[in-house]
Structure 1
């Protein structure tokens, strides 16, 4: 006599797959967001390396246009 199988409480099509993310899968994007938000709110903390002065002038011009 065959035994009856019980149906699954959640099928894969309803989103009940139950996949779990590791802790770093949420921590890394959160840290990146906080770092970028900090740089946006305090741009003086972001110091550029000594490089091409033309690039620095371009960035200063873009900043002046954005602050108008």
Structure 2
């Protein structure tokens, strides 16, 4: 005859201060998304991309490799 195992009940999580996110946990990813979206919409403002021709060349080669 199998022996019964006793399991402990899980504690109920209530909406306390421990379960809430700080304000920056949503604000920082949103800010990063909006910044990258703005650079995509107006690439003329992305001055750092033209400063390193070696990085640009490497990225173009990687893009060509991925599209094959």
With the length of structure 2 as denominator, give the TM-score of the two structures. Answer: 0.50
For these two proteins, the number of residue pairs brought into alignment is 47
Q: Which residue of 1 aligns with 2:36?
A: 36
Q: Matched residue of 1:22: which SS?
A: coil
Select the structure that is richer in helix.
2
Which consecutive aligned stretches of 4+ in structure 1 deviate over 4 angstroms post-superposition?
none
Give the distance between the partners of 1:50 and 1:37, measured in 2 at CA. Answer: 21
Consecutive unaligned residues in structure 1, runs of 5 or more: 1-10, 63-68
Q: CA RMSD in A?
A: 2.4
Correspondence 1:1-68 to 2 at 5 A: 11-12=12-13, 17-18=14-15, 19-48=19-48, 50-51=51-52, 53-56=53-56
With the length of structure 1 as denominator, give the TM-score of the two structures. Answer: 0.50
Give the distance between the partners of 1:54 and 1:26, measured in 2 at CA. Answer: 35
- C-alpha displacement at 1:25, in angstroms? 0.3
Consecutive unaligned residues in structure 2, runs of 5 or more: 1-11, 62-68
